[in-house]
Structure 1
Amino acid sequence: MSDLLAILYPWNKAIHIMAVITWMAGIFYLPRLFVYHAEQAQTGDVKDEVFRIMEYKLLRYIMNPSMIVVWVFGLALVFTPGIVDWGMIWPWTKAASVLAMTWFHMWLAARRKDFAAGNNRLAGRRYRMMNELPTILMIVIVLSVVIKF
């Protein structure tokens, strides 16, 4: 199995990177949709329905599949011999950041359900503030992998 992972390494890495790009696009965009939804729509109006559809499709058809692909191919990279040295700090900071990003994804999914049920309790300002978290996590992940500190 490890020989196969080594042979497929460039493909696994390429697919992982593409999935990260699509996942991050959604992670950055969904909270912005929530900002506008919270500030510009009233429960039950036309804007509310449009935002609900956009949020659902973004999460269901782009973000969820992308996150799954990120995890599957990321784990394939982790199990490829010679790629990760767990004696260094960088795999741990990356792993912690990816777990935090996954938590954020789940938090966004829960907020989408709140909007869908007409129960959003957060203001646009809170969504703006929460939108900073994935930027910080992305910086930690990229520096961890590239600099390997």
Structure 2
Amino acid sequence: MHALHRGLIGATTALAATVPMAAGVSAHATVKLDDPSALFEPCYQSVTVSNDGAFAVAFTVRAENSEPYSTEWTSYFGRSEARTLDAGDVGVGEYAPVHVEAVAAFGSPFRSRDFAFCRNGRTKLIEAKGTAANPWFEDR
């Protein structure tokens, strides 16, 4: 019985050693779990919404943890204008998930994909496009 058990453990170990290569994953690929930034790449400090659409737009940066936090909404701004908000003003810690909520005047609301906040000076770009009858946002 012990020989069978040792044989199964050896076969399982050998199989586990080949799985990363079979899946196309390098045996040298590692993720540092003590480095939160490795789990949330890329992360951004601020968000710019550029209005390339034929309508007015306003936006906020929001985090929804146990309590929702958000920056003040920008005032509506028109075509060929842009506004930037520092996601640090949301009041959450480093690497917290945040997103952008935007609204076109007389249009549908938009919510970006979540991204991580970190104080690194990088700026996330979102472009407002379309017309007042058909507005959309492109999350870059």
TM-score, scaled to structure 2: 0.24
Higher Cα radius of gyration = 2
Q: Which has the higher helix share?
A: 1
Q: Which has the higher strand share?
A: 2
TM-score, scaled to structure 1: 0.23
Higher relative contact order (CA 8 A, sep 6+): 1
